[in-house]
Amino acid sequence: MSDKITRVDLVNHIRHSLGLEPKSASTAQAGIINEAYVVATKTFNLPTELLSQKNKTAHLELLQQYIDSINNISAQLDAVDRGTANSNHSEYRSLKIDETYNLNAAFLHGLFFDNISDLRSQITMDSLTYMRLERDFGTFDSWQEDFIAAALSSRSGWALTVYNGFLDRYMNVVVDLQSLNIPINCYPVIVLDVWEHSYYRDYLNDKKTYVFAMMKELNWDVIEDRIKKADRLGKILKG
């Protein structure tokens, strides 16, 4: 598999296996996905010793399954009958609901793997991250306290710090599963997986210790880049 796999390549691969025509070039152009989130096995370096190797391997397999599901759904959506779409039961509805479920699963996992496992994890007080969290949560410690509360409150889901483009501020979010309770127009900057699959192998039901462990190795450089982007997004949204 080459380094630059586009979504359309994958979609067309599946379309082919389903006996469908390939996507048109115009759609193809647009469909390039950031391969960071697509080719999971190449992307994530997880040197952390706070998770076992078996846990990490299984987790990357799960990610691959979500990506396979997206591409499968995407290919089916091209061919689905839209004329029978309805809210009680229709193939279109089922595909759309699961499209969002698997998109979130794949992208949140990508963001998660990218922002953990930094063995030299360090945040400095003059970073934009520090200043923004302090601005919107009062103090950095308050952000931390709130984020831990969010992680402990999720039911097989995610704790997120997001930039809310409407409020023009950061907030923590409690996601259940992959797609319940997500605020619209939010850009995630800190992402923590709190599905049981992320901690049960190594921590059993001691979720709190897992949360602390992951927070000790947050990759603040990666987060700083996201915060800088969020700042620029904010300027456009306010403009």
DSSP string covering 186-221, please? Answer: EEEEEEEE-SHHHHHHHHTT-HHHHHHHHHHT--HH
User: CB of 165: closest distance to a second copy in angstroms?
Assistant: 7
Nearer to a second copy among residue 36 and residue 123 (C-beta): 36
Residues within window 31-90 making contact with a second copy, judged by CB under 8 A: 31-34, 37, 54-55, 58, 61-62, 65-66, 69, 72-73, 82-83, 85-90
Residues within window 144-163 making contact with a second copy, judged by CB under 8 A: 145-146, 148-150, 152-156, 160, 162
Question: Tokens 């004329």 — which residue?
Answer: 83
Q: Does 209 bind a second copy (CB under 8 A)?
A: no
Separation of alpha carbons 67 and 36, rounded Å: 12
Among the listed ranges 10-18, 114-122, 133-141, 216-224, the one in contact with a second copy (CB under 8 A) is 133-141
Separation of alpha carbons 51 and 98, rounded Å: 29
- Site size toward a second copy (CB under 8 A) is 97
Separation of alpha carbons 213 and 232, rounded Å: 31
User: CB of 192: closest distance to a second copy in angstroms?
Assistant: 14
Eight-state DSSP code of residue 176: E
Q: Does 197 bind a second copy (CB under 8 A)?
A: yes
Q: Are 65 and 4 in contact (CB under 8 A)?
A: no
User: CB of 80: closest distance to a second copy in angstroms?
Assistant: 9
Among the listed ranges 14-22, 41-49, 191-199, 211-219, the one in contact with a second copy (CB under 8 A) is 191-199
Nearer to a second copy among residue 122 and residue 138 (C-beta): 138
Sign of CA dihedral 150, 153, 159, 162: negative
Structure tokens given for 152 = 């402990």
Q: Does 96 bind a second copy (CB under 8 A)?
A: yes
